[in-house]
């Protein structure tokens, strides 16, 4: 929960800061400083998308002792990060009040990003989009055409992604997810029987069939 509260706080900070994206935490700059700003943004980038990029910014800020000069040099919004820190502390206090255990995975642990991805999917399992053969994305179940936000940090088009909010003209900041997690974390929602006919449904049917075969093989081994 510690890492999840950090991400929650950073997402909250994006609504507090009104500067341009990658989310307004990492400032976009025009003119002669644009190259330096883009390079700074790339240093924080994560292969799986903007949400994990936000966490990288948060941890880098902490490792540099929340130094305003470091923020200035790396085109990071210092006020937004301070706001995120306040939100995180408030979440921790609320959890303590209700005797909820504050669990955490160490930032350098190899399972850190995997665990974060699963936490995100558990929270946003209804907000998933799939890449169709036509090259555009459809939201799962309601089949609405959506697009990745142009400022996202991905260098590829993921087959599936999670989003936490819709921006202008149905554009999203994405987190590229492993679609095999869908049936593990939210099987009640990703029952292929309840899906309209689309590529996502066929992918899920293959996944369920594969899982069934694995279970049969395990029974035979026993």
189-208 pLDDT, tens digit each? 888 887 878 788 888 888 88
Q: What is the pLDDT of residue 22?
A: 39
- In the numeric block, the tokens 């309209």 are attached to 196
Sign of torsion over alpha carbons 97, 119, 61, 33:
negative
Judged against a pLDDT cut of 60, whether residue 15 lies above it is answered with no
Across the range 2-25, mean pLDDT stands at: 59
Across the range 36-57, mean pLDDT stands at: 84
pLDDT in tens, 61-94: 999 999 999 998 888 888 888 888 888 899 889 9
Give 130's strand partners: 138, 160
Across the range 114-135, mean pLDDT stands at: 88
Read off the pLDDT band of 114 (50, 70, 90). Answer: confident
**Predicted structure pTM score:** 0.74
Residues 6+ apart with CB under 8 A from 81: 13, 25, 57, 58, 61, 66, 71
pLDDT in tens, 166-182: 665 555 555 666 778 88
What gap in Å lies between CA 85 and CA 23, rounded to an integer?
16
Q: What is the pLDDT of residue 31?
A: 58
């Amino acid at each position: 929960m510690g890492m999840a509260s950090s991400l929650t706080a950073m997402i909250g900070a994006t609504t507090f800061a009104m500067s341009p994206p990658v989310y307004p935490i990492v400032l976009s700059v025009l003119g002669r400083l644009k190259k330096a700003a883009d390079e700074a943004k790339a240093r924080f980038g994560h292969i799986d998308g903007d949400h994990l990029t936000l966490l990288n910014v948060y941890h880098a800020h902490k490792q540099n002792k929340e130094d305003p000069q470091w923020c200035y040099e790396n085109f990071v919004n210092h006020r937004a990060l301070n706001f995120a820190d306040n939100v995180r502390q408030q979440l921790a206090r609320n959890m303590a009040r209700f005797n909820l255990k504050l669990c955490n995975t160490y930032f350098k642990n190899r399972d850190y990003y995997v665990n974060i991805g699963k936490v995100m999917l558990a929270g946003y399992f209804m907000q998933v989009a799939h890449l169709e053969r036509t090259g555009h994305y459809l939201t799962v179940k309601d089949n609405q055409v959506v697009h990745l936000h142009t400022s996202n940090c991905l260098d590829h088009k993921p087959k599936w992604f999670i989003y936490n909010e819709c921006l202008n003209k149905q554009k999203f900041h994405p987190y590229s997810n492993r679609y095999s997690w869908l049936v593990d974390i939210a099987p009640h929602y990703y029952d292929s029987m309840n899906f309209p006919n689309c590529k996502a449904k066929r992918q899920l049917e293959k996944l369920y069939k594969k899982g069934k075969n694995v279970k049969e093989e395990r029974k035979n081994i026993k």
